[in-house]
Structure formats: structure tokens, C-alpha cells
Amino acid sequence: MNEITNTRHNHLIDPTMHVWGWEIPLYLFLGGLVAGVMILTGIRFLRGQTREPSRAMALMPWVAPVAISVGMFFLW
């Protein structure tokens, strides 16, 4: 195994600096989105808000597992 030591930080000049493809940033974005959705849903649940939630708020708990599954699929 060869270790590459490089002090430059431009992936256009040094192609070995470009480690991630588009899959990793997409997975991280979807993971952050799901985390935000779960936090907002949890806050609403803990507050015990009794009024009817908006359509978007009602769909959030169902969208989160789908979004994280799509992100995990891109890692595979």
C-alpha cells in the first residue's frame, strides 16, 4: 500500500484529491434532512400540540424513512 502525501488542496490539479463521488454528499444531505425532520416532529410531539397538523407536517414521519433509505441505496 502506497501512502500519498500532498500539501496542495486543489482537486483539479491533483486528481487523487478527489475522493468522494456524488453519492456521499447526497447521502449526507439526506441524512441531515431526515435528522431535521425527526427533530421537528419530536418537538411537535413533546409539546403536545392538539390542533390538526399541516399536510407537510403530517407526512414528515413517513418521508424520513424513505429519504434515509434512498440515501443508503446510493452508498451501496
pLDDT tens-place values along the chain, 76 residues long:
777 666 677 666 666 656 778 888 899 999 999 999 889 888 888 888 767 878 888 888 888 899 999 988 988 8
Exposure class string for 17-36: b at 16+ Cβ within 10 A, else e: eeeeeeeeeebeebeeebee
| Stated pTM of the model | 0.65
pLDDT at 57: 80
Q: What total number of domains does the chain contain?
A: 1
Confirm whether 29 is domain-assigned: yes
Q: Which domain holds residue 62?
A: 23-75
Confirm whether 13 is domain-assigned: no
Confirm whether 11 is domain-assigned: no
Confirm whether 56 is domain-assigned: yes
pLDDT at 18: 64
Confirm whether 61 is domain-assigned: yes
Distances (CA, A) of 43 to 25, 38, 40: 27, 9, 5
Confirm whether 52 is domain-assigned: yes
Confirm whether 34 is domain-assigned: yes
Confirm whether 53 is domain-assigned: yes
